[in-house]
Amino acid sequence: MQWLKEIFKVKLKEFKENKLAIVEIFNSISGEGISAGELVTFVRVAGCNLRCSYCDSTYSYQEFEAEHSRLKPAEILTELSKFASQKIICTGGEPLEENKAKRYLALYLAAQGFEVRIESNGSFPVYNTEEFNAFGGVELRTKLAYTLDVKSPSSAMAEQNIYRENFQKLGINDELKFVVANENDFEHALKVLNKEAEILAVNEVTINFSPVFGQLEAKELVRLLKSKEAFFVAKQLKPRLSLQLHKMIWDAEQKGV
């Protein structure tokens, strides 16, 4: 496997020389999921391979927009040094897009000592051992956490998801996010969970259900969750309602908050 190590060394060297397209870097509270309410710094990378019907960050779709900053990894560190938090949420766009330098930003930041949560749309593989080794070793996994979307039918992107291949690499600090617009989405989520329950239960992965803002009332999602309580208990899954705090605190369209 020496040749593989060499390839990743080259990638790492190249990575540090790349200018990454960054939409925004700002500090705020985490808006949702396990980390909701925590003070964190967001790094939003540009470019997404999907086009979800309900996307609320369309401004990050394109990688090559004039208004995005072009920053080398060391320059991103300089920006991050303006904030005290050691907790980063690396979001997008899509931060794990393969064959792009931005895929390695979260690993690079973890190797610098930050705690990094990666918010991914779930359509790319999570990091493999070779990638960890290229940035310092598999122990970096303890500095990283994943929030992986599982796309619903109403997103029109449900076919893009990677399921078991990713789920088997998740752990207790990781989470799935089902964004639900209607009962059909909820039923789809249950089908996925029914199939993958064992690995998710063993790995103690948190399962978030989040209503599409403006399309499904939170209380309706709670009703649906309650109606399947026996299923979640039987499958030993950890479901929870996740609301987007930032949309309650600020205007739903406001950026950088």
Q: Which residue has the tokens 């700002």?
A: 26
Which of the residues 70 through 109 are near ligand SF4 (CB under 6 A)? 92-94
Q: Does 52 bind ligand SF4 (CB under 6 A)?
A: yes
SS3 80: helix
Beta strand segments in the chain, E: 20-29, 39-45, 69-71, 87-91, 115-120, 144-150, 175-180, 206-211, 238-241
Strand partners, 39: 29
Q: How far is the CB of 182 from ligand SF4 (least distance, A)?
A: 17
Helix H or strand E segment including 7? helix 2-17
Closest approach, Cβ 54 to ligand SF4, in A, equals: 7
Q: Which residue in 195, 168, 108 sits closest to 143, CA to CA?
A: 108
3-state class of 112 per DSSP?
Answer: coil
Considering the complex, state which of residue 95 and residue 239 has its C-beta at the smaller distance from ligand SF4. Answer: 95
5 binds ligand SF4 (CB under 6 A): no
| Per-residue tokens: 179 | 């964004």
50 part of the interface to ligand SF4, by CB under 6 A: yes
Whichever of 51 and 195 has its CB closer to ligand SF4, that residue is: 51
Site residues (CB under 6 A) for ligand SF4, limited to 108-127: 121
- CB nearer to ligand SF4: give 58 or 236: 58
**Segment contacting ligand SF4 (CB under 6 A): 44-52, 213-221, 222-230, 235-243?**
44-52
Q: At closest approach, how far in Å is the CB of 85 from ligand SF4? A: 23
> What is the smallest separation between the CB atom of 43 and ligand SF4, expressed in angstroms?
14
What's the rounded Cα separation, in Å, for the pair 188 and 27?
34
**Would you tell me which residues interact with ligand SF4 (CB under 6 A)?**
48, 50-52, 55, 57, 60, 92-94, 121
